[in-house]
Chain A
Amino acid sequence: MDWSKETGIKIQLAIGLWLAMTLISMSVATDGSVASFSRLTQFEVTRSNTANFNANESRVSLTLPDSWHDHQQHPFTHAWYQTTLVTSGLPHPFAVYIPRVSMNASVLIDGVEIGNGGGFTEPISRNHGRPLIFFAPSRITEGVDQVNLVIHVADNDWALGYLGPVYVGDPATLVSMYRTREFWQVQFTVALALLMFMFAVTAFALFARRRQETYFFWFGAAMLLFAIDTLNVFVTDIPIDRKTWEVYTQGVVFAFAIATAIFIHRFTQVGWPRFEPILWLLLVIKLTILLKIDPTWFYFTASIFNLLVIGYGLLLNFMVTRAYLKTRKFEAGTTAIAGTILLLFGFHTLLIQAGILSPENLHLIQFGAPCFFFLISLTLINRFLHALDDTAALASQLDIRVREKERELATIYEELSILDQNRALTDERARIMREVHDGFGGQLVGALAMLEANTINRVELSNYIKTSLLDLRVMIDSLDPNTREVAVALGMLRTRVEPILKTRNLSLAWDLTNLPADLELNPKRTLNLLRVLQELISNIVKHSTGDQIKLTASVQDSDHGKILMILLWENGTGFEPNFQTGKGLRNVRRRILDLDGEIRYANDQNGFATIIVIPGLLPAQ
């Protein structure tokens, strides 16, 4: 999917939405004429610095809208706009609708106040961000041909007094107009501000997760400052003194501009980040100066600083646009579009504040900034989705690589397994070959030699074959998984040698009482042990002068784990072990070495004992 293209379409849609919104708001701002009401613009005005209306004061005729308090020509804080209404042309009752006033207004009909927008003494209620509507009851116009309408407006030294055209007529129609304007000017703007606030929280949350992406922080900071500034417009009664409040609002607007500039630096990698401390220094200087000066020069001074930051904004936007044209980077493109909209709307608001455009116009900056943030949010979402795509692609590649490695590992494991098997097979073959050579192979060759030499001794031949069978059985027993336990292996050996002992009338006493059933040796070690015992018993059968054998097996703990101790005793005279000449005993010694064990012999008047010690017993599986 081509996200750039899709997001581009979204941008166009956003711009379309913004234009539609602007057109609607502009049309609302002009409040087109409807037959059921009158738009009053011709008034006579009286100005004063006190709240007391003096009917004898000189009056001046003028046409609304009127900037009645501008610090230079009209340095007054109160004004009364008067006109005469002919009652026959009015509905009964009728409404008086004031779309825009700064800062507060009250309406009087024949000297009787029918409503006001709040307090007229300090702090004077601030209504420059909201329309006002008042209702004249029917009794006021009863029995008279005309009435005197007075609009009393007031502000203080910190404001620029303004009154737009006044509408008089049918209450239902004017309420409808009032609500439409109130929606766009108040409710919609408040909703946008709250939305900005939520976006800001989201951006801060993203920054908390990804500290290296500092542009999230500045994006959130810019949106938060904008939300604070927007909500300021609707604070009717300020909680602190007017000067501090004005300095605060100037600070918020300026900080919003700086945060936006820093965001653009970090987000697009365009601009002069080194200039950021200077911007903050400008803010400090601006606020310090504003705190020192009186209202006469307050807004002029503030405008100079604001122009500086707007100038940097224009420069930055130019640089971002140029960067986009060079690199065609999506971020730069969107930021350039969003920045242009913001600057245009800001410029529009600046023209209103400079008196070039009628103050009756809505301040488009209220919509421009959300539009800017909306476009940037789309870009951030786009970047996030790209990151997700990249992550998915990387995960997919990783998955493929893991599978490949798994296959490689499986192949290597299989090869190793085959090698292991081959080695085990070779080892096992060598072991069996040695067993065959040392054991029944030799017996069979002996039997064959006897047959071929035609010197057959039936008893000897039978013994050869019986010994061969015994060898085979002992070997098979050592490989049996059920005789892996030492106790079972010894038990099997007993059943194998018992018939041979019987032929010699040798009795075998068996004591495995102290040999736990759950200790094992591996098959190779088991066979070595059985072969050792088989050879020793075979020696007893061949050479012993006694008639009793006793085998005792037990387990003892040692520093090297559990060790097996086997005592083989016979009541004969025993024999002198000769490891050099006796083939059987040579094998015994070799096997004991293989077992890392020890073998000892002891002789006394009661008989002959062989003691075998084998380490390395394992717990049963």
Chain B
Amino acid sequence: MNTDINNAPFTIVIVEDEPHTLNRLAGIVGSHPDLNLVGTSTTFMDGLELLLNNVPDILLTDLGLPDGSGIDLIREISHRHLKTLAMVITVFGDETHVIDAMKAGASGYLLKDSDPSDITYSISQMIKGGAPMSPGIAGYLLKYFRDEVAPKDSEPAKARLTEAERAILQMVSKGYTSKEIAEINHLSYYTVTTHIKNIYQKLSINSRAEAVMEAIRLGLVKGDRD
């Protein structure tokens, strides 16, 4: 993907069932010179059609849709190996919703009531490779990776955190911003955001490995030993 936001407008699709929120988001995105809103939808099915027909650079999706879940839309992107970067729109930004979306392959999340400038800033950060992470999510991830045990022979290898990633997660969980973390640790801002993005990718990889193991356990997929 070309990440030069100044030269190439990025196509974007928004799926949100609340019409006023949808209109607000569409207005913010539509008025941004670098973002090209190619379609909006209030349902899962229409959103899926928009996604598959347009394969946009960015998908903004709510999770609770009247005929499905935004997480399934995100899974479609991973499943079909589409270039689209998915971003979840959430009211609370709570761990339960965001983590599930991140596990499915989302690259970021937005609070629905964020200021217009915050919304476009978050989108541009995501395009540049950044990923937002709240202290609550960092706290969850610290526990998630701490509790990981060494996989058995028959299990797919699981990604583990590096010491640097763990230190960054620790600071994020305490409420430090990426900029502050970079300053305190004498790192570049880009390095910190890359670490955060890598942590999300590891979460997604492990999540897929867990899904495979669960499928093997349920007899849906044959393991290597069988």
Binding site for B on A (CB under 8 A): 466, 469, 472-473, 476-477, 480, 482-483, 485, 487-488, 490-495, 499, 502, 510, 512, 515, 517
Contact = CB atoms under 8 A, between A and B. Distances in A.
Interface string B95-120: 10000000000000000011100100
B50 interface: no
Given A488-B174, A493-B175, A510-B176, 20 more contacts: A469-B113, A473-B92, A476-B94, A477-B136, A482-B136, A483-B135, A488-B135, A488-B138, A490-B174, A491-B135, A491-B138, A491-B139, A491-B174, A492-B135, A494-B175, A502-B115, A510-B177, A510-B180, A517-B142, A517-B170
A490 B176 CA distance: 10
A472 B136 contact: no
Contact of B173 (A472, A491, A510): A491
A480 B94 contact: yes
Contacts of B113: 466, 469
Interface in B77-95: 91-95
A573 to B, nearest CB: 27
A492 B136 contact: yes
Please give me the 6 A-B residue pairs with the lowest Cβ-Cβ distance, nearest first: A491-B175, A491-B135, A494-B175, A488-B139, A482-B139, A482-B140
Interface of B: 91-95, 113-115, 118, 134-140, 142-143, 170, 172-177, 180
Given A472-B92, A476-B92, A490-B175, A499 B136 contact: no
A517 B135 contact: no
A480 B95 contact: yes
A98 to B, nearest CB: 87
A274 to B, nearest CB: 77
Contacts of B93: 473, 495
B135 A495 contact: yes
18 contacts: A472-B92, A476-B92, A477-B94, A482-B95, A482-B136, A482-B140, A487-B175, A488-B136, A490-B135, A491-B173, A492-B135, A492-B175, A494-B175, A495-B135, A499-B118, A510-B174, A512-B176, A517-B173
Contacts of B114: 499
B173 A487 contact: yes
Contacts of A483: 135-136, 139
A485 B136 CA distance: 10
A158 to B, nearest CB: 89
Instruction: Point out which of B91, B118, B139 has the most chain A C-beta atoms below 10 A from its C-beta.
Output: B139
A513 B180 CA distance: 12
A517 B136 contact: no
A578 B170 CA distance: 38
B139 A485 contact: yes
A527 to B, nearest CB: 14
B203 to A, nearest CB: 14
A471 to B, nearest CB: 12
Nearest to B118: A499
Nearest to B115: A499
Nearest to B96: A480
A517 B143 CA distance: 12
Contacts of A469: 91, 113
A282 B94 CA distance: 100
Contacts of A512: 174-176
A533 to B, nearest CB: 12
Contacts of A487: 135, 173-175
Contacts of B174: 487-488, 490-491, 510, 512, 515, 517
Contacts of A491: 134-136, 138-139, 172-176
A488 B173 contact: yes
A392 B140 CA distance: 55
Nearest to A551: B175
Contacts of B180: 510
B134 A495 contact: yes
Contacts of B175: 487, 490-495, 510, 512
A469 B91 CA distance: 9
Contacts of B176: 491, 510, 512
Contacts of A485: 139, 173
Contacts of A495: 93, 134-135, 175
A485 B170 CA distance: 12
A499 B92 CA distance: 14
Contacts of A517: 142, 170, 173-174
A488 B115 CA distance: 24
Instruction: Point out which of A480, A492, A502, A517 has the most chain B C-beta atoms below 10 A from its C-beta.
Output: A492
A512 B175 CA distance: 9
B172 to A, nearest CB: 7
Nearest to B134: A495
